[in-house]
Amino acid sequence: MKINWKVRISNPQFWITVGLSIITPLFAYYGITGADLTTWHSVWTLIVNAASNPYVLALMAVSIYNAILDPTTASLSDSTRALAYQKPKRDEQ
């Protein structure tokens, strides 16, 4: 599995996707809204509960896997073209 990690970690969109891959299963499983996380204690409690729940961890793992997966290739690896990038490709207009 060859992935151009250097380019991915320098792309803010990658981090947004990974962050949402972690937050979304948490909010969905526990039925949380932003209003429920008004203290650091409630945030910490949510993290501890999630870390001790195998189902929630599995949901996060699947979401992160989907964030990393490149759906434009037939395998788990990046395309040859994507592996050659030195920085995230910008659309040319």
What are the φ and ψ backbone dihedral angles of 57, each rounded to 5 degrees? -60, -40
pLDDT at residue 48, rounded to an integer: 95
pLDDT at 30: 94
Q: Are 83 and 76 in contact (CB under 8 A)?
A: no
pLDDT by residue (tens digit) across 33-91?
A: 888 999 999 999 999 999 999 999 999 999 999 988 887 788 888 888 888 888 887 76
Q: Which ranges of 1-93 does DSSP label H, i.e. alpha helix?
A: 5-9, 12-30, 40-51, 54-68, 80-84
What's the confidence (pLDDT) of residue 79? 82
Residues 81 and 75: their CA atoms lie apart, in Å, by 14
Distance, C-alpha 74 to centroid of its chain:
21
CA 25/CA 66 separation, integer angstroms: 13
pLDDT for residue 89: 75
pTM > 0.85: no
* Predicted confidence (pLDDT) per residue in 4-17, tens digit: 899 889 989 999 99
